[in-house]
Structure 1
Amino acid sequence: MNMNISRIIIIVLSAVFASCSIDNYSPPNGGIHGKLIDKITSKNFQTQQPNGYNVLLFEKGGSQNIPLVIPGKPDGTFENSYIFQNEYKVVVTEGAFFPLDTVTVQVGERTQVDFEVMPYLALTNVSVTTSPGKITATYNIARQVESGKILDRMTLVSEIPTVNNVVFDHRRATDLSAVADPAILADTFVDEIDGLTSGKKYYVRVAARIQSALGRYNYSDVFEVTIP
């Protein structure tokens, strides 16, 4: 019995050492990073995370059906610093913007690739002011390409830096589905949110969306305010 156990242990250890000696591949030594630039505002494309947008990388010589997925960050940037240096087909998709063409990128040690996107909507002339227990957001909605009906607009307030349609503590939302789009685009909107705590810091963002397959919102920058 002891002899059999000893043989089993030897076989297992031999397999372990053999696998260790074979596993000598070089680790990934490449990286890709960049940002999406809003064609209307000329600033970083503002979004949310998750469900903001994805960057898909199809490696040359690899499977064309299983891409490497890089989720976009709320400020429009993306990065993966642990991929193999190689040629990739890059697709930016699933965001609140019109489709982009696929591009081919040679990824080296640290390669930067920026993309210009045409958003469905842009939040422009955004200002956030404070008064005791309250914030007031003033903004316009703009677009350069007519697409789906503008559905709604909102001002979102969060007690943490993350603020979007899913993460918020206070919200003022307005249904625009019955309002003609030209009237929306010509208007200036003012949202007030009260019941906030004096002396406390909040994060404020404005959003709007059109009728689209994914129902994604377009966002403004995040404003950090302290209530007087």
Structure 2
Amino acid sequence: MKKLFYSIALSVLVAAGSSCKKVDNYAAPNVTLKGTVTDAGTGKSLQTEQGSGTRIKLLEISWSDNPTPFYISSYQDGTYQNTKLFAGKNVISAEGAFVPLVQVDNTGKTIVDKSQTVDVKDVTTVNFSVEPFLRIEWVGDPVLNADGTITTSFKITRGTADPNFQQNVSDVAVFVNSNNYVGNNNYDNRYTPKLGGDDANNAVGKTISLTTLGGKLPGKRSYFIRVGAKMSYGLNYYNYTDVKEVKVP
């Protein structure tokens, strides 16, 4: 009799559990959002550092008036892509080492809004044109010297005429690394020369040449060189050149 009672009770519990079970019928996210952040002054993609630089901010307003932001990190070359999104209406902007696309005053009132409201579906492309805080240009290619060091020449200018975003330049560096993912978040400090303080700020508008540290570089390998500079504003993101390779025999 006890066995019969336990069997009936177990059957009831299993049935109850089955009736409460929910089946997830939602398809996996498969929408792609991609694009490029470009320098409005040159039309070129805005170089950044992957994972710690330019990011794309999404606010999905399909279901909420106060959504939680979702961010997509840009690649080093200024492009971005995410292939695992859900379709929906999003307010999209970009954040990085450039004049903010969305600005608020001291009271919290929005005074500039260059975000884009987009129905993200299938494969959607959203590009941004921005004014970088700083623009850094190569002056010739990096030179391998007879003593085994590398000298890099470059020029830093302001990327915007807006005086609200022309703070002092705080840091300049010629980042050196053994692979092409090079920047403030990935470099070899044994070889990377830097400027700071007044030396960094006084570099604006001039042709500057810096030579790798540590004497003769180990040979039979490539070194990847990239110039970065930042000013004292916000999250202190760097502006960058593209990457150049120097082969040391």
> Bigger shift: 57-66 or 114-123?
57-66
| Structure 2 SS opposite 1:213 | coil
1:51 and 1:13 mapped to 2: Cα distance?
52
Alignment partner for residue 142 of structure 1, among 151, 157, 160? 157
1:58 and 1:134, CA in 2 relative to 1: closer, same or farther beyond 3 A? same
Residue in structure 1 matching 2:119, options 106, 116, 122 = 106
Q: Spell out structure 1 runs of 4+ moving beyond 6 A.
A: none
Q: Per the alignment, in what secondary structure is the counterpart of residue 178 of structure 1?
A: helix
| Residue 225 in structure 1 maps to residue 246 in structure 2 | yes
Q: Does 1:58 align with 2:72?
A: no
| Structure 1: gaps spanning 5 or more residues | none
Q: SS of the counterpart of 2:204?
A: helix
Q: Look up the match of 1:212.
A: 233
C-alpha deviation, 1:162, in angstroms:
1.7
Q: Secondary structure at the match of 2:203?
A: helix
CA distance in 2, matches of 1:76, 1:102: 17
Distance in structure 2 (CA, Å) of the matches to 1:122 and 1:215: 15
1:41 touches 1:124 (CA, 8 Å); kept in 2? no
* Whole-Å separation in 1 of the counterparts to 2:232 and 2:154: 20
CA contact (8 A) 1:163 1:203 kept: yes
Tell me what 2:36 maps to.
35
In the alignment, which of 89, 98, 101 is matched to residue 91 of structure 2?
A: 89
Note the C-alpha offset of 1:86.
2.0
Aligned to 1:77: 79
- Distance (Å, rounded) in 1 between the aligned partners of 2:192 and 2:43: 27
Q: CA deviation at 1:195?
A: 3.0
- Aligned 8 A contact 1:33 1:79 in 2: yes
**Cα distance, 1:67–1:186 mapped onto 2, change above 3 Å:** closer
Deviations 1:94-117 (A, max 9, x none): x11111121111212101111011
Instruction: Name the amino acid aligned to 1:34.
Output: G
Offset from partner CA, 1:43-69 (integer Å, 9 cap, x none): 111111222022111113234231221
Gap regions ≥5 residues in structure 2 = 102-113
- Equivalent residues of 1:164, 1:205 under 8 A apart: yes
Q: Distance in 1 between matches of 2:17 and 2:238?
A: 53
Report the 3-state secondary structure (helix = DSSP H, G, I; strand = E; otherwise coil) of the residue aligned with 1:171: coil
Distance in 2 of aligned mates of 1:44 and 1:28: 28
What residue number does 2:216 align with?
A: 195
Separation in 2, partners of 1:188, 1:195: 24
Query: What is the deviation of 1:71?
Result: 1.3
Who wins on radius of gyration, i.e. which is larger? 2
Distance 1:223 1:10, change over 3 A: farther
**Cα distance in 1 between the residues matched to 2:15 and 2:218:** 64
Moved more, 99-108 or 11-20: 11-20
Question: Relative to 1, partners in 2 of residues 1:227 and 1:36: Cα closer, same or farther, differing over 3 Å?
Answer: same
Identity level (%): 29
Residues 219 and 5 (structure 1), Cα distance of their counterparts in 2 relative to 1, 3 Å cut: farther
User: Would the aligned equivalents of 2:37 and 2:127 in 1 still touch at CA under 8 Å?
Assistant: yes
Displacement of 1:24 in angstroms is 1.1
Matched, 1:178 2:193: no
